[in-house]
Structure 1
Amino acid sequence: MEAISAEEFKNWVDQEISVIDTRAADDFAQGFIPQSINIPATSQLPEYSSLFFKTDEDLLLVANDGEELAVAEELKKSGFNKLKGYLKGGFPTWKKADYPIDMVIDVDPDELMMDIPFDENLVVIDVRRPIDFAQGHLKDATNIPLEEISTIENIAQIEETDNLYLHCYVGVRSVIAASVLKNTAFII
């Protein structure tokens, strides 16, 4: 697989080639290439990748420096055979080139609880599985499991004026969901 310079990578991104970023959710949230989707390089990489990407679509890869080939191999085992290449040097290369970045704002539970009474546009979306949601959730939260976040029916529920707060157990699913929604042109 080919290592791609930041400039060449940006040219591909500008042509709207899908970008999968396999860094940890915490790292991704602090800064990422706009329109990329975060699928951390864990045992769930094949499952989550197949939710949001087609195996026959062209893909660009952002991974931690030195992990690119192993991640590409995992993706290929799952049927993703149209990897154009990976960003040489990873996300720091993109940032150093001073290209646009996006981020996901992480909010502590205490801050969310303080915002609820004062934000009439606040919407909590719980991206856990229905069984987990049924065991307990925030009052007035809407359950849209990560596996269903990108369906037209669920996206249609989100108003442009909504201030979305995405919730899960540890933050991985919510960051993936945020990247998917940002990819569909929602600002969250």
Structure 2
Amino acid sequence: MKVEQIYTGCLAQGAYYITSNGEAAVIDPLRETRPYLERLEKDGVKLKYIFETHFHADFVSGHLGLSKKTGAPVVYGPNANPEFEAIVAQDNQVFELGNVKIKVLHTPGHTMESSCFLLIDENGKETAIFSGDTLFLGDVGRPDLAQKAAHLSQEELAGLLYESLYNKILPLPDDITVYPAHGAGSACGKNMMKETVDSLGNQKKMNYALNQSSKEAFVKAVTDGLFPPPAYFGMNVAMNKKGYDSFDEVLSHGMKALSISEFQAAAEASGALILDTRSNIDFVKGFIPQSINIGLNGDFAPWVGAMIVDVKQPILLVTDNGKEEEAVTRLSRVGFDNVLGHLEGGFETWKEGGEKIDIVDRITAEQFAREVKIGEGKIIDVRKESEYAAEHVEEAYSKPLAYINDWIKDIDAREHFYLHCAGGYRSMIAASILQSRGYRNFTEVEGGFGAIAKTSVPKTDYVCQSKVLN
């Protein structure tokens, strides 16, 4: 028996590949099927099952593409109602895989169909649990995403999650290995550990959600501090439930190289968003006017999902040479399939062609320290509230990037302000969005708070509510 975790950092997502005696199973695969097909071929095994812990909200799963290419059935737990052929298992149903067994544990709460898969080895020993979004390391799945579909409140869903965890997971042996669907950085939880594998015994000791004194205390703990989910979550659920275009087709469209004239014509005809995936260091030096910068060298796909409201939005790409396929692939993972193509030769082609370019006004942290007058100059900090609360520039406003579509309307276009994040990635996203909507009355700080903290600029952890986005 072999168990392999296939972890994708930019999505903080874990898929799993299990083999035993010539047969294999994949749990929660990503959309591109090649990595799994290559493993199957290398190991000389046949894919018998594709297990889905639930209808995922934060990414488009590869269950349908992988099933089509291998003939393996897709398996869900109870209450699932996919709009395609699949096995909807019963609670405690057992699936044989080579010499091992996989048992379905229905664990509603995160969603109504959420299920964990218990791995039983050749000797009949319960050895691992693939916990999906039911149990994370250090946290549990948020209970607010399935309210509409379940016709239940987040408190009622949290109550179901409590029953699932305390009645089905906690009684399992301490030495069981926990393989969650997500780790730190995912929007599916709020307190996840950076580790991606742990023992159930350790989770019983240190996971706050597994150490509540009562069901009421559990409900309060897991529902406290939840932020609104990204807008694309609901659309990804629909794609996972109803079906979607094949990844091969999406990649083929996105890999279409466009000349400058073709690129311009496509933008004008379709109303496409120009997405520049270069680093903020390169973007700031020059970019196509009205383009949005979300760099591939960060949490690219989640930020695309958070910033671009509609997954059907037509997109034209500007990438570093050789990064076109990576950009299209990562966009497809969160359901942004309508990529019309990319600018052949990247931004340099545009620049050398004599086309109009734009820049962002960026200064160093040292310049910021010399220029800013605390109490007079307006400062906008686009980091998360928790980062801001830990320490921030005195008198800075907390305006998290995730909510820019809400707070941008409050910006006074006549008043200058300074803009920063932690290191420059998020503030350049914000800067590009601001400029695309006509705001040019700001200066972005290179290196963000990490660089500012090394200067003499006054800092504090005091949070003035008037400075915090409500």
Same fold? TM cut 0.5: yes
Distance 1:8 1:119, change over 3 A: farther
Structure number with the bigger relative contact order (C-alpha 8 A, sep ≥ 6) is: 1
**C-alpha RMSD of matched pairs (Å):** 1.8
State the distance in 2 between where 1:177 and 1:113 align. Answer: 21
State the distance in 2 between where 1:73 and 1:101 align. Answer: 27
1:64 aligns with 2:317: no
More displaced 10-residue stretch of structure 1: 111-120 or 133-142: 111-120
CA distances 1:75-108 after superposition (whole Å, capped 9, x unpaired):
1122111101000000001111111111112212
Shift of 1:119: 11
CA distances 1:94-137 after superposition (whole Å, capped 9, x unpaired):
111111111112212221222223996x4211011111111111
Aligned 8 A contact 2:312 2:336 in 1: yes
Distance 1:136 1:27, change over 3 A: same
Aligned 8 A contact 2:374 2:395 in 1: no
Which stretches in structure 1 are left out of the alignment for 5+ residues?
none
State the distance in 2 between where 1:150 and 1:137 align. Answer: 22
Shift of 1:74: 1.4
Q: Show the counterpart of 1:30.
A: 285
Correspondence 1:89-108 to 2 at 5 A: 89-108=345-364
The AA in structure 1 aligned to 2:349 is: T
1:140 aligns with 2:395: yes
Residue aligned with 1:84, SS: strand
Q: Show the counterpart of 1:2.
A: 256
Shift of 1:57: 0.9
Query: Which residue of 411, 431, 437 corresponds with 1:184?
Result: 437
Q: Show the counterpart of 1:11.
A: 265
More displaced 10-residue stretch of structure 1: 111-120 or 45-54: 111-120
Shift of 1:172: 0.8
Q: Show the counterpart of 1:172.
A: 425
User: Matched residues, percent identical?
Assistant: 34
More displaced 10-residue stretch of structure 1: 60-69 or 157-166: 157-166
Query: Which residue of 293, 298, 301 corresponds with 1:46?
Result: 301
State the distance in 2 between where 1:184 and 1:142 align. Answer: 20
The AA in structure 1 aligned to 2:259 is: S
Query: Which residue of 415, 430, 449 corresponds with 1:162?
Result: 415
CA distances 1:139-165 after superposition (whole Å, capped 9, x unpaired):
2211111111122xx112211112221
Distance 1:143 1:6, change over 3 A: same
State the distance in 2 between where 1:63 and 1:85 align. Answer: 11
Distance 1:138 1:64, change over 3 A: same
Query: Which residue of 380, 399, 404 corresponds with 1:149?
Result: 404
Residue aligned with 1:20, SS: strand
Q: Show the counterpart of 2:252.
A: none
State the distance in 2 between where 1:115 and 1:128 align. Answer: 22
Which stretches in structure 2 are left out of the alignment for 5+ residues?
1-254, 443-470
State the distance in 1 between where 2:259 and 2:412 align. Answer: 38
More displaced 10-residue stretch of structure 1: 6-15 or 171-180: 6-15
Q: Show the counterpart of 2:341.
A: 85
The AA in structure 2 aligned to 1:167 is: H
State the distance in 2 between where 1:43 and 1:123 align. Answer: 27
The AA in structure 2 aligned to 1:34 is: P
Residue aligned with 1:30, SS: coil
Distance 1:161 1:103, change over 3 A: same
The AA in structure 2 aligned to 1:150 is: N
More displaced 10-residue stretch of structure 1: 7-16 or 59-68: 7-16
Looking at secondary structure, tell me which structure has more strand per residue.
Answer: 2
State the distance in 1 between where 2:321 and 2:397 align. Answer: 37
Larger-Rg structure: 2
